[in-house]
Amino acid sequence: MQDREAVQNAARESDAIAVERTLAGERDAFRGLVERHSQQLFRLAYRMTGNEHDAEEVVQEAFLRAYRNLGQFGSRANFGTWAYRIAANYAIDRMRQKRSEDARRQTPSVLAEEQDQDPLDLAPDERPTPDRLAMNTELRKKMEEALKELSSSERTAFVMRHWEGCAIEEIAAVLKTTTSAAKNTVFRSVQKLRRALEPYVGARGALQAKAAGAAPEPRGTQS
């Protein structure tokens, strides 16, 4: 535990030095920051946008913006958190823009086709592999669809909270809203995902949940 903290502190110090050197005109010092934080930013961006191409674009744009605005970055010790916030904000813009484009492109016949699909055809069965594998693929597809159905704010709130373990205050800062509104957005995203996925998760998920323990740990402890 102490080792982990020491590693984190060393990384922060190293980030702070790299920021100062970049500001002093050493462009190559920024390279270390990019190499250190790219993976984390990609994970966030992929979960928010739902596709690799967009996620890669978000990562690149986030670093470009960070570089252009490095002087505004007040606390030198947390470059990772700052870049993470820039990426989340850009991903929100990207999702909204894409959603508008998709809405313009989507024809009523496509919508009708989607509505005609019988949910029972997509329901998972309990048979073993290779059908089980097919079920997992189907469940993944349903997850992608359910996440896509969330609004950009809801998806951001859910990704930051559930996968990234962010505190409500941090989510509120990214969504530019109050903590109580951010909390509501997290709750609403969980409700929507539950409605969409419960029929496909079924007993398998419940068993997993029980195995993990009856009393869940509160989230949002890391930042």
**Scanning residues 163 to 182, which ones bind other proteins (CB under 8 A)?**
168, 175-177, 181-182
16 is a contact residue toward other proteins (CB under 8 A): no
Total number of residues binding other proteins (CB under 8 A)?
79
Q: Which is nearer to other proteins, 59 or 91 (CB)?
A: 59
Backbone angles phi, psi at 221, to 5 degrees: -90, -20
Residue 52 CB, shortest distance to other proteins, in Å, is 6
Residue 83 CB, shortest distance to other proteins, in Å, is 12
34 is a contact residue toward other proteins (CB under 8 A): yes
80 is a contact residue toward other proteins (CB under 8 A): no
By CB under 8 A, which span of 1-9, 38-46, 75-83, 109-117 interacts with other proteins?
A: 38-46
Q: Which is nearer to other proteins, 2 or 122 (CB)?
A: 122
Residues 118-147 that bind other proteins (CB under 8 A): 139-140, 143, 147
How far, CA to CA in Å, does 73 sit from each of 70, 84, 159? 5, 13, 24
Residue 144 CB, shortest distance to other proteins, in Å, is 8
Residue 128 CB, shortest distance to other proteins, in Å, is 18
Q: Which is nearer to other proteins, 2 or 105 (CB)?
A: 105
46 is a contact residue toward other proteins (CB under 8 A): yes
Answer for the pair 193, 185: CB distance below 8 angstroms, yes or no.
no
77 is a contact residue toward other proteins (CB under 8 A): no
DSSP string, the chain: -HHHHHHHHHHHHHHHHHHHHHHTT-TTHHHHHHHHHHHHHHHHHHHHHSSHHHHHHHHHHHHHHHHHTGGG---GGGHHHHHHHHHHHHHHHHHHHHHHHHHHH--HHHHHHHHHS-HHHH------TTHHHHHHHHHHHHHHHHHHHS-HHHHHHHIIIIIT---HHHHHHHHTS-HHHHHHHHHHHHHHHHHHHHHHHHHHHHHHHHHT-SSPPPS----
Q: Which is nearer to other proteins, 2 or 216 (CB)?
A: 216
188 is a contact residue toward other proteins (CB under 8 A): yes
75 is a contact residue toward other proteins (CB under 8 A): no
